[in-house]
Structure 1
């Protein structure tokens, strides 16, 4: 059972938690598959793998693991293609704009801790006017070890001078929740995202929400 400290900071994972980036990943992947004359895939096939990163997409849909001589080239091409298309169709999850407005009205600070590199994460965030009051963005470029290590979350809290016990970390991957627990924050698993399932969350007794509108009840004013 998580203790009920006053909520002063909300930290979001990016892909699958704050922003639905699946459409742009899907379009990028199909552009690549078309180039290599491989059958295209549906967004439903892509969505469960997005939170695991580009390497996972290359392994899954090009059948190329990190030992494959094609791997580095495919990954580089994918990231280049994605960088050209990453703000076309991505959108805030339903209800997220209202939640951000609520946080601003109640003077609750918010930020992002993601495993997406800064050169990709920052332009996506900047493309949403609703997020112009974001106070911190921590990416793999800024830490020695990415999630599930808690370094990024702890760095965000330190930069903002807010105790982890007054923080909620939201994510859609088990690594997000592991990082939050290690950092000492309250955690919320986001089932509306890409990677989590209710059975796993119940097994570990992790709190979760099925839609953005359920997040409000976990915020202590």
Structure 2
């Protein structure tokens, strides 16, 4: 990718800035008698996830729906609710290397976090000490549209107060990056901090 002095970096959150260890989730599934991946399949099924990340339902409503879908597998409504409560209490780790890069970039360019997220995102960022990690945060559940809808990229560029073609968009989902490129943004399919550091080198000098 061509290195450039971007005016704004629009960065995904999950899979880039915050990382989820799958081991605790698998342990919970086994404890409650579910197959590996059962909770994720329930939580991220399109009929559950899409309303949650576009703000049609709240985070609490989404999680209640997930619990309902897991009732049979868990053996009772109470056990399913307990599983979802335990899952909801899990916390990710912040990638401190990525955070340091974004902090450095903010000396020369705007940084906007762009996430397909539920209505709990702001609370989660505060709990992780990330409430002030960017100049702005675009949450799909607040906007009403999710990546790769063009409107979320336009909203992020507007929050950064720069044109679309002055933005670098970073995401760990290739389809989201391709959508950004289709709007004229530069894009990085995130696979690790080293590649991110390289593409941001002109802003780190």
Global fold match (TM > 0.5):
yes
* Shorter-chain TM-score range: 0.5 to 0.7
The list of structure 1 runs, each at least 4 consecutive aligned residues, that deviate by more than 6 angstroms after superposition, is none
Q: Give the deviation of 1:53 after TM superposition.
A: 9.6
User: What is the deviation of 1:8?
Assistant: 1.5
Cα drift, residue 72 of structure 1: 5.1
* Matched ranges for 1:153-172 at <5 A: 153-172=153-172
Q: Does 1:73 pair with 2:69?
A: yes
Instruction: Using structure 1 for the length normalisation, give the TM-score.
Output: 0.63
Q: 1:177 Cα shift?
A: 0.7
Q: Are the counterparts in 1 of residues 18 and 93 from structure 2 also a CA contact under 8 Å?
A: yes
Deviations 1:156-184 (A, max 9, x none): 21233211111110011122212312332
Distance 1:104 1:145, change over 3 A: closer
> Which residue number corresponds to residue 93 of structure 2?
90
TM-score, normalised with respect to structure 2: 0.67
Unaligned runs of 5+ in 2: 46-65, 72-79
* Matching residue of 1:11: 10
SS in 2 for 1:105: coil
Matched residue count: 178
CA contact under 8 A between 2:30 and 2:36: conserved in structure 1? yes
Q: Give the secondary structure class of the aligned counterpart of 1:112.
A: strand
Alignment partner, residue 213 of structure 1: 197
Write the distance in 1 (CA, Å) between the matches of 2:181 and 2:86: 35
Say which SS state the counterpart of residue 83 (structure 1) adopts.
helix
Structure possessing the higher relative contact order (Cα contacts under 8 Å, 6 or more residues apart) = 2
RMSD: 3.8
Alignment of 1:178-193 (within 5 A): 178-192=178-192
Contact 1:5-1:166 within 8 A present in 2 as well: no
- Say if 1:144 and 1:39 are closer, same or farther in 2 by CA, change over 3 A: closer
Whether the aligned pair in 1 keeps the contact of 2:10 and 2:170 (CA below 8 Å) is yes
Structure 1 segments unaligned to the other structure (5+ residues): 57-69, 193-208
- d(CA) in 1 for partners of 2:204 and 2:168? 10
d(CA) in 2 for partners of 1:110 and 1:55? 28
